Amino acid sequence: MSSIAVEVDKVSGGEHRHKRLAQWVEDVAKLTKPESVYWCDGSPREYQNMLRLMVQSGTAVALDPEKRPNQHFSSARIPPTWLV
């Protein structure tokens, strides 16, 4: 069985913020063997990256920037008629 390294965000001083959560994620990762584990930080940069990926994959559509600046429509399935 291969080992997986799970890196957890640390607060200043080198302590893990949520040791029990980090241990749980590591345990589940060992069982499920994901390609990677991503820790969300909730930053504006992360949000913009998420929106960009959703638009690229087709699960979100950027709305008219003049009428609806910085707004997106998100759906698991976007009917082709909505993209016109």
Query: What pLDDT does 14 receive?
Result: 43
Query: What pLDDT does 74 receive?
Result: 84
Q: What is the pLDDT of residues 5-61, one digit of tens each?
A: 545 444 444 455 788 888 898 899 999 999 988 888 889 999 999 899 988 988 888
Closest CA to 72 of 58, 80, 81, 84: 58
Q: What pTM, to 2 d.p., does this model score?
A: 0.53
Query: What pLDDT does 81 receive?
Result: 66
* Pairing assessment for the beta strands 60-62 and 72-74 based on DSSP bridges: antiparallel
Query: What pLDDT does 31 receive?
Result: 95
For the chain, the domains span 1-39, 44-83
Average pLDDT (57-68) is 89
